Amino acid sequence: MSFETVTLRKEGRVGLIGLNRPEVLNAINPQMKAEFAEALDRHMADEEVLVVVLHGSGRAFSAGFDLKAGEGAPTEGNLAWRARLRSSFDFIMQVWDAPKPSVAAVHGYCIAGAFELAMACDMIVAEAGTRFGEPEVRFGSGLVAMLLPWMTTPKFAAELMLTGEDRLDAERAERMGLVNRVVPQGEGLAAALALAGQMVAADPVAVRLTRDAMHRGMDIAGMRQALEAALETDVVIEGAVGPQREEFNRIRKAEGLKAALAWRDAQFRKP
């Protein structure tokens, strides 16, 4: 399989996957989802690879799922929404479920589904100037993989998820426990590779079993069950149709997301 939307390479015992649609801030479309899964499978099958590093080409890690390229609203009801959201959920969680540890090197924008993809990695290195966020509620959507409450405190998670914050800076994300390290612009990938190199230098069996134990502990605490329940809630949110949602979707389709958000903001400012 040749790749158009991701890059695949190795540096020593570290496998790298790059999101590679820089002209649209690496927005995640169906083709990227398929190619990413194949790239990840190749690294998992390669006995030389012990750690995987995710990164993004161009100006951003990723702006999230591409609403203009097949990742927008199905019109066939909740069954179609469930299939669409399950596909996106599995795309994110395949990194969490993979048998090898991973590090996300993020820069520019790391928003919505891309933020969730980064959180599914074991560690995150962020360049200064990176913007994080979960803006879904601002345009009437839900989170695909609600990892955030498991990665930070409930108060911080509520602040981001219930306000639709999408300009969280790297330094505050680090203080929230969402980022391991903040490094100068242009140094994110090198810092992530250095962190991966420290894991490669450790005993691989001990690293794998320790990581498995950490994940198992979170599942015992109920993480997987909570994520599945949140996914069902997202199906309900996305399938809800009312006059405001219909008008928002009409404007988004005709004029773009920015115009739709401006319309919705104007509704809330009305006396």
Per the prediction, the chain carries an average pLDDT of 92
Query: 228 lies in a domain?
Result: no
Query: 70 lies in a domain?
Result: yes
Per-residue pLDDT tens digits for 207-253: 999 999 999 999 999 999 999 999 999 998 888 766 777 787 788 77
Query: 124 lies in a domain?
Result: yes
Per-residue pLDDT tens digits for 80-99: 788 889 999 999 999 999 99
Per-residue pLDDT tens digits for 41-64: 999 999 999 999 999 999 999 999
Q: Is the confidence at residue 180, as pLDDT, over 60?
A: yes
State the residue range of the domain holding 59: 6-206
User: What is the average pLDDT across 107-111?
Assistant: 97
Number of domains in the chain: 1
User: What is the average pLDDT across 21-28?
Assistant: 96
| pLDDT score at 264 | 74
User: What is the average pLDDT across 177-186?
Assistant: 98
Query: 271 lies in a domain?
Result: no
Query: 161 lies in a domain?
Result: yes
| pLDDT score at 71 | 45
Lowest mean pLDDT among 133-147, 158-172, 184-198: 133-147
Query: 239 lies in a domain?
Result: no
| 129 phi, psi to nearest 5 deg | 95, -10
| pLDDT score at 251 | 87
CATH number for the domain spanning 178: value is 3.90.226.10
Residues 6+ apart with CB under 8 A from 162: 137
**Catalytic residue numbers, as ranges:** 116, 136
> How many whole angstroms separate alpha carbon 237 and alpha carbon 140?
7
Task: With CA atoms as reference, report the closest residue to 141 among 172, 116, 122, 121.
Answer: 116
Q: At 168, is the secondary structure helix, strand, or coil?
A: strand
User: Above pLDDT 90, what percent of the chain?
Assistant: 77
Query: 160 lies in a domain?
Result: yes
Q: At 151, is the secondary structure helix, strand, or coil?
A: helix
| pLDDT score at 249 | 77
Q: What angle do CA 99, 17, 171 make, to 5 degrees?
A: 90
| Residue 120 host element (H or E) | helix 113-120
* Angle of helix 78-97 versus helix 30-45 axis, rounded to 10: 30
Task: Specify the pTM.
Answer: 0.92
* Angle of helix 223-239 versus helix 204-220 axis, rounded to 10: 60
Residues 6+ apart with CB under 8 A from 146: 161, 226, 227, 230, 231
Query: 120 lies in a domain?
Result: yes
